[in-house]
């Protein structure tokens, strides 16, 4: 079987300098040159527009600061007209020395049909530094329009829907918990609402943090949040728990898209003594909680007890992830697959999952999650351990067995909902530090390279050829730890944009590029011919008519043969033809005469001879009017010199004969005795 693996990167166009120039021009002196790190990219589905989010270093206190940039001139990051917005006003620069960067980290696309989020192209989420123990972080939520204008939906410092005032989802009211980190966000098209994930501080405690879900139902309404008080929490201030990455589905058990079966799958970190966390969450806006417990369940609480995923899968200690960093749902290639990835002591961790369902009653899948405290059955229709394939697919100097090695992004390629096109996947490999979303000091990372690699649609085959292609073109930064990918939505040529972020601060700015991805397959065809032009084409045709192979040698031979006869090349065929014709006529006449069909009647000698002479002018005019044309002389009538000379000669002979006969007649009249055998007077005279 031949699959559609991506093997080459073609026609790269870098946008790094362009974005840096735009940031210098639009952020001014507060922007530290070449300091931006792009941590999220999104191509708008309905039109050619691209948004990137991330962080830059602000010169005021050399502090990471969020920014968003929109390419308003088209799709991609290579050739772009950027509208850049920095959010230094949302930062408290009095805070220093945090482990987590401030920035915008992910974004969700909002369709033009949205009514709850009017004029929004994306909603971007992140967090900024604010004085709020224990994390000193607060959410930053920004609504981004396609023209690059931004509206802050939540900022603690600016007092715009501050997280400290957010109500608890379904329950209402405020509590001592307050959302802090915000790492990822997904859009629910059926409910026109968003779910973001991250963590929450307990303001009543100096150390406790919780995994947290935030619901955003409208641009006009402040977000609400909920945390789990029992699982996914940390009391280590240096390693707060948080949810890092999430994906969404809105379908019932039969796969039909419905509004009341939303499930958000999230993965993250608990603390540095536990394993990566993995949850399912059903929003209040989808399936109202009714004031009861939130609808969430844990596939992995990170405690690695026997009934949970890691133990149930029989994973060794070296393969059990300490931190799950990536949860993507991939559908563009026609397969509906969740990818869950993270870091493990022995290297990359990864699982592919197809068909996520829940059973709330024990009566079969219904895609409902029971409120907390009540068990729910999880059904994965198909699941595949991808740890070994990812660890074996190596390229360059990438180390995929380091405790920080991770898949940093994965995308599916396909068209028309996966019914056509390439239908395959690519992913990026890099490094993630345990317990950090975007570290400020990343010395613990096990490497500083990111690469693009390929995996087949069904996650059966992997290939490093695309990585080798990129290395040979020097496309990858000499120092980078995280790469994000985005697929062009408006291009018929398969293209992606990617952004490498250098979180260990050793290599300068991000690299952002547009590049075509392809198989590199090429088919060649060759057609070779000899073209005979002009008189050579005439010779070639002659040879072909004679049944002789038309080759250069044969054409030249025939041409030389003609020249040897001393004839004009341009008329030799016709001369030859004329001679042959005369000879043929002569033979035919001879045969005809022999068979009596052309014996001349007995006639008087004089009359016969004069007849030949008498029609001379008529014959000459007929020869001149001979209806043949010379193709070598622009189609002028061909002059049959041979025939003409023949006729003239014949006539001349006839005239000569006539004269000779007349002379003979005269002689016969004057001396007839000379020509008979009878004796006469004269005969005797001399005797």
Partner 1 sequence: MAIRRQGIQFVIADNGSESETALEQFIDKPQSIFTSGYGSANLTQSQQLLDNQFMVVQSMGSSAGLFASDNGWTPRGYMNIRVESTSYYTNPDGKPQEGLSGTGAPYPILINRMRSYSSFPRVYLQGGTTFDITYYMASNFVGSPDNFSGGSYIQTMVG
Footprint of partner 1 on residues 384-413 (CB under 8 A)?
Answer: 384
Residues sharing a CB contact under 8 Å with residue 160, sequence separation 6 or more, in sequence order: 152, 153, 154
**x/- string (CB under 8 A) for partner 1, residues 164-193?**
------------------------------
**x/- string (CB under 8 A) for partner 1, residues 281-300?**
------------xxxxxxx-
CA angle in degrees (0–180, nearest 5) for 70-75-77: 65
Indicate which single residue of 30, 48, 221, 461 sits in contact with partner 1 (rule: CB under 8 A).
461
Please identify, using beta-carbon distances, which residue of 527 and 595 lies nearer to partner 1.
527
Q: In whole angstroms, how close is the CB of 343 to partner 1 at the nearest point?
A: 22
Indicate which single residue of 29, 220, 523, 679 sits in contact with partner 1 (rule: CB under 8 A).
523
Indicate which single residue of 33, 537, 585, 594 sits in contact with partner 1 (rule: CB under 8 A).
537
Q: Is cis: bond before 378, omega within 30 of 0?
A: no
First-to-final CA distance of the chain: 127
Does 3 bind partner 1 (CB under 8 A)? Our answer is yes
Please identify, using beta-carbon distances, which residue of 533 and 678 lies nearer to partner 1.
533
**Across the strands, what pairs with 83?**
70
Report whether 509 contacts 34 (CB < 8 A).
yes
Footprint of partner 1 on residues 78-137 (CB under 8 A)?
Answer: none
Footprint of partner 1 on residues 217-246 (CB under 8 A)?
Answer: 228
Does 207 bind partner 1 (CB under 8 A)? Our answer is no
Report whether 124 contacts 107 (CB < 8 A).
yes
Does 74 bind partner 1 (CB under 8 A)? Our answer is no
Residue that is written with structure tokens 């006009």 in the block: 220
Q: In whole angstroms, how close is the CB of 661 to partner 1 at the nearest point?
A: 53
**x/- string (CB under 8 A) for partner 1, residues 493-522?**
xxx--------------------xxxxxxx
Please identify, using beta-carbon distances, which residue of 186 and 517 lies nearer to partner 1.
517
Report whether 324 contacts 276 (CB < 8 A).
yes
Q: In whole angstroms, how close is the CB of 118 to partner 1 at the nearest point?
A: 34
- Number of C-beta neighbours around residue 582 at 10 A: 13
Report whether 651 contacts 613 (CB < 8 A).
yes
DSSP 391-415: HH---TT--TTSTTEEEEEEEEEEE
Indicate which single residue of 93, 171, 289, 532 sits in contact with partner 1 (rule: CB under 8 A).
532
Cα–Cα distance, 297 to 609 (Å, whole number): 130
Footprint of partner 1 on residues 359-388 (CB under 8 A)?
Answer: 369-384
Please identify, using beta-carbon distances, which residue of 5 and 395 lies nearer to partner 1.
5
Provide the 3-class DSSP secondary structure of residue 544.
helix
Cα–Cα distance, 522 to 84 (Å, whole number): 41
Q: In whole angstroms, how close is the CB of 215 to partner 1 at the nearest point?
A: 17
Q: In whole angstroms, how close is the CB of 531 to partner 1 at the nearest point?
A: 5
Question: Segment near partner 1 (CB under 8 A), from 6-14, 64-72, 218-226, 650-658?
Answer: 6-14
Please identify, using beta-carbon distances, which residue of 23 and 459 lies nearer to partner 1.
459
Indicate which single residue of 368, 540, 609, 654 sits in contact with partner 1 (rule: CB under 8 A).
540
- Residues 6-29 as b/e (b if ≥16 CB within 10 A, e otherwise) read bbbbeeebbbbebbbebbeebbee
Strand order in the sheet with 511-518: 8-14, 511-518, 495-501, 482-487
DSSP annotation of 207 reads: S
Please identify, using beta-carbon distances, which residue of 96 and 313 lies nearer to partner 1.
313
**x/- string (CB under 8 A) for partner 1, residues 329-348?**
----xxx-x-----------
Please identify, using beta-carbon distances, which residue of 492 and 618 lies nearer to partner 1.
492
């Amino acid at each position: 079987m031949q699959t559609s693996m991506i093997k080459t990167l073609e026609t790269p166009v870098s946008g790094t300098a362009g974005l840096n120039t735009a940031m210098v021009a639009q952020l001014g002196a507060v922007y530290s040159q070449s300091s931006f790190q792009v941590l999220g990219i999104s191509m708008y589905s309905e039109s050619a527009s691209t948004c990137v989010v991330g962080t830059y270093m602000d010169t005021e206190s050399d502090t990471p600061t969020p920014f968003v940039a929109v390419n308003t001139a088209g799709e991609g990051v290579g050739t772009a007209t950027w509208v850049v917005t920095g959010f230094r006003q949302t930062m408290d620069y009095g805070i220093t020395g945090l482990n987590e960067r401030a920035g915008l980290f992910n974004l969700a696309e909002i369709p033009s049909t949205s009514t709850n989020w009017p004029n929004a192209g994306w909603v971007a989420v992140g967090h900024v530094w604010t004085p709020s123990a224990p994390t000193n972080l607060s959410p930053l939520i920004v609504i981004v329009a396609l023209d690059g204008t931004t509206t802050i939906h939540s900022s603690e410092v600016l007092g715009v829907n501050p997280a400290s005032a957010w109500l608890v989802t379904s329950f209402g009211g405020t509590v001592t918990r307050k959302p802090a980190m915000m790492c990822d966000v997904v859009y629910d098209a059926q409910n026109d609402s968003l779910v973001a994930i991250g963590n929450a501080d307990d303001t009543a405690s100096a150390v406790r943090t919780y995994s947290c879900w935030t619901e955003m139902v409208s641009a006009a309404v402040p977000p609400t949040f909920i945390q789990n008080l029992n699982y996914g929490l940390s009391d280590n201030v240096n390693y707060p728990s948080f949810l890092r990455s999430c994906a969404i589905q809105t379908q019932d058990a039969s796969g039909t898209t419905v509004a009341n079966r939303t499930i958000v799958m999230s993965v993250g970190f608990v603390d540095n003594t536990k394993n990566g966390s993995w949850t399912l969450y059903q929003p209040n806006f989808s399936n109202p909680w009714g004031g009861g417990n939130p609808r969430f369940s844990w596939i992995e609480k990170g405690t690695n007890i026997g009934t949970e995923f890691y133990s149930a899968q029989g994973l060794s200690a070296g393969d059990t992830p300490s931190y799950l960093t990536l949860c993507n749902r991939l559908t563009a290639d026609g397969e509906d697959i969740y990818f869950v990835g993270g870091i493990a002591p022995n290297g990359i961790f990864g699982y592919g999952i197809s068909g996520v369902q829940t059973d709330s009653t024990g009566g079969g899948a219904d895609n409902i999650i029971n409120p907390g405290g009540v068990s729910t059955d999880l059904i994965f229709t198909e699941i595949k351990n991808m740890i070994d394939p990812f660890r074996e697919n190596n390229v360059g100097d990438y180390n995929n067995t380091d405790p920080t090695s991770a898949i940093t992004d994965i995308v599916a390629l396909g068209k028309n909902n996966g019914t056509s096109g390439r239908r395959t996947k690519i992913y990026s490999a890099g490094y993630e530090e345990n317990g950090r979303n975007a570290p400020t000091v990343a010395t613990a990372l096990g490497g500083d390279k990111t690469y693009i690699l390929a995996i087949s649609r069904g996650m059966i085959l992997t290939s490093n050829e695309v990585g080798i292609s990129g290395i040979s073109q020097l496309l990858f930064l000499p120092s980078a730890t995280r790469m994000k990918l985005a697929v062009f939505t408006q291009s018929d040529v398969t293209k992606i944009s990617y952004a490498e972020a250098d979180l260990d601060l050793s290599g300068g700015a991000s690299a952002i590029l547009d590049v075509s991805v392809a198989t590199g397959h090429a088919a060649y065809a060759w057609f070779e011919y000899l073209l005979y032009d002009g008189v050579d084409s005439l010779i070639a045709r002659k040879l072909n008519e004679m049944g002789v192979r038309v080759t250069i040698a044969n054409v030249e031979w025939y041409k030389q043969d003609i020249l040897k006869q001393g004839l004009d090349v341009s008329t030799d065929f016709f001369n030859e033809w004329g001679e042959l014709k005369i000879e043929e006529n002569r033979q035919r006449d001879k045969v005809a005469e022999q068979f009596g069909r052309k014996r001349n009647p007995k006639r008087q000698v004089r009359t016969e001879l004069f007849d030949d002479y008498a029609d001379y002018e008529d014959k000459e005019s007929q020869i001149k009017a001979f209806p043949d044309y010379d193709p070598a002389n622009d189609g002028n009538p061909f002059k049959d010199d041979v025939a003409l000379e023949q006729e003239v000669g014949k006539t001349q002979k006839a005239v000569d004969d006539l004269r000779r006969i007349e002379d003979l007649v005269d002689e016969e009249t004057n001396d007839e005795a000379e020509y008979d055998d009878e004796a006469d007077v004269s005969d005797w005279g001399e005797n």
